[in-house]
Structure 1
């Protein structure tokens, strides 16, 4: 007897507002009602809207990136009851396939305006921008970043099971303590519950209000359940072991990506898309105890782009920022410098900084922590696959031209999409950032800064004794709420 057709348990409409669809939600909370039921061992299809719920259009303006409402994100499909799943079990999620919708064969990569979302490099590149990508089978190309073509590694940015009430309270408590300990003028260090634009599936009235008051934002991944981890290798054939905290698991998925680079640096940095994911579910009874599982583990599938040996250029970065300031073992500062070195390199071929920023967010780049023990510098690397370009970007191409960028193949690369009235996008030089920073020169890594208050001691952001001491002093002396813009990857 042949296999039966795969059932679709979660359908979405691209023509209906996401907030009006009862099988979607945008907060984590145990009281969000089930959107459907999946048998233990069953393979099903689940449809997903893009993470913004359709706020971004296929056009040549980034006004939609500038104006995006981030209180609405992320729209996830679910939560689904997985039969027999109980607290203490593990849900084994095997990703069988992920595809864009046939009638929407495109996606987008974006940079949010610094005043509304920002990103990893927003102190340098504060303007909103985007690139539209067209899907051609397994490949993608963009009119906004020409001379580039690569195969997608399609994956979900978010998958996870609902927290229990106890786990939810733990999240809100520890993230609330972080917010209170770090009072910044123009940055969020975490996002507390936000009732505005809460969507709790089919929950009504008091239940919806409770989700709005208590529900955890979907922005960060969290150790107890996974969530928004944005791991590019969770593609076809991958297996993920997820902790279960509530009866029925209450599994949700969304934030589908056609491709993503390690780090998803621009925040809206993957090639975001709507589509359908096919998943097999198995319940492992008492799996959390058997596996000693304190956070998800995964096994990547066999499918990913291969470029061959010697077909990447690797850029190095260290815990010394663009002002020449030394930080202690700060991986975020190091990766920021790694990224800037690659952007500077690509200028020689005609790409604008914004085009390169977008490209490094979504292309299959390899980001690694190369060294984490050699004080005071962490070392990170970024591997750029050279074969995604239709011309030679190897160092020899530049050296053989005597450093002449025209001879080396500098081209007219057009432009990515900017907001109305912006033609090239703002690039803020280090000397100007030092003068204009609202939060002083102290880096939390990745551009996060804080302002000195009284006799507060400075602390590096990336771990180690200096960072910890500074953070403790802030917590003791300065209670308050951060007001601003860095959120988390899409």
Structure 2
């Protein structure tokens, strides 16, 4: 069955996951969902990144209720029969930009903010024909960007040309998506974790599949923080933030378990490790890759450890979400095909 999940007031929550939140949608395993993911940065260029429905969300949800995180989330989706210990397999099928514009903020939480001591917004325009984006204009944000969804009042006179002649590839993906943790009250959308959340891996786009460990009945899956392009590291604090229309299929899995968000792309298996310390995050990703190789490929720990050193790539996912991220990817093509049992 295909379900529609528009981003309207009753279907969104701003800045948090919450195990007690009433579902916006109830689905069965195997169902498809077409959902709207709205950026919390639409206010950086309201005339380009808002329509009446997006504007209504910004007008209706009080600034005081946009906490403790910053991301505008659509959901949650309750999956029938999903129980703690299960996995939700989310097959991302389409991610289509809602508008042809997006925003990058060089924020006070960016990795090099102390080198600049100011925040700067760059507005990008998408070119669908070439699947690239180019900077349309930029401006210095007055003061600090402290209120999620704050709307810009920058006049034309304060806008500057930026990055002339440069084009970047458009690769739409979800910066934040995941399940409700088994924690009382609101959990910020900012730090990633076992529940998923703000992973900020640009590979979580159409054609990829994520496996999220279920912590509460129904899973309570939500999406938000849509991006159209980002580099590993997300060094300035944000990607090109832009609203997306997303279609995905949700499948309940009980035939295997995994302790952290696991990503499957056409070419790679990718595991994620998180911690405030990048060294610890790397060890967490290493241990989960060991688990994947021993549990799913049947390797011994010694063989898996050797293989990781010669064939797996470790990269920094992001360094700007408080809890930093490392991802480790290993090519699927290096493994022999699994033998099918005889009839």
Match of 1:242 in 2: 212
| 8 Å contact from structure 2 (residues 192, 323) kept in 1 | no
* TM-score (norm. length: structure 1): 0.45
Match of 1:326 in 2: none
Q: 1:302 to 1:257 in 2, by over 3 A?
A: farther
1:130 aligned to which of 116, 121, 128: 121
1:150 aligned to which of 168, 188, 197: 168
Match of 1:100 in 2: 97
CA separation in 2, counterparts of 1:47 and 1:272?
A: 14
Q: Give the SS at the match of 1:230.
A: coil
Map 1:418-457 → 2, pairs under 5 A: none
Map 1:388-399 → 2, pairs under 5 A: none
Query: How many equivalent pairs are there?
Result: 238
TM-fit CA distance, 1:76: 0.6
Match of 2:190 in 1: 219
Correspondence 1:12 to 2:1 = no
Match of 1:255 in 2: 225
Correspondence 1:37 to 2:26 = yes
TM-fit CA distance, 1:302: 6.2
1:119 aligned to which of 87, 100, 110: 110
| 8 Å contact from structure 2 (residues 35, 246) kept in 1 | yes
Q: 1:225 to 1:276 in 2, by over 3 A?
A: same
CA separation in 2, counterparts of 1:381 and 1:240?
A: 18
TM-fit CA distance, 1:33: 0.8
Match of 2:236 in 1: 266
The superposition leaves residues 233-275 of structure 1 with CA deviations (integer Å, 9 ceiling, x where unpaired) of 111110111101111110001111101000111112x110112
CA separation in 2, counterparts of 1:330 and 1:215?
A: 26
- List alignment gaps of at least 5 residues for structure 1: 14-20, 61-67, 170-213, 304-328, 333-372, 374-379, 383-445, 448-485
CA separation in 2, counterparts of 1:23 and 1:37?
A: 12
Match of 1:162 in 2: 180
The superposition leaves residues 133-187 of structure 1 with CA deviations (integer Å, 9 ceiling, x where unpaired) of 11111221113221111321110011111112xxx26xxxxxxxxxxxxxxxxxx
CA RMSD of aligned residues (A): 3.1
Correspondence 1:275 to 2:244 = yes
CA separation in 1, counterparts of 2:237 and 2:126?
A: 21
Q: Give the SS at the match of 2:115.
A: coil
CA separation in 1, counterparts of 2:259 and 2:233?
A: 23
TM-fit CA distance, 1:228: 0.5
Q: 1:142 to 1:331 in 2, by over 3 A?
A: farther
CA separation in 1, counterparts of 2:199 and 2:206?
A: 17
Structure with bigger strand share is 2
The superposition leaves residues 415-438 of structure 1 with CA deviations (integer Å, 9 ceiling, x where unpaired) of xxxxxxxxxxxxxxxxxxxxxxxx
TM-fit CA distance, 1:89: 0.9
Q: 1:255 to 1:274 in 2, by over 3 A?
A: same
Q: 1:257 to 1:12 in 2, by over 3 A?
A: same
Computing the radius of gyration from Cα coordinates, the structure with the larger value is: 1
Q: Give the SS at the match of 1:124.
A: helix
CA separation in 2, counterparts of 1:381 and 1:22?
A: 38
CA separation in 2, counterparts of 1:301 and 1:272?
A: 25
Q: Give the SS at the match of 1:55.
A: helix
| 8 Å contact from structure 2 (residues 102, 240) kept in 1 | yes
CA separation in 2, counterparts of 1:302 and 1:258?
A: 21
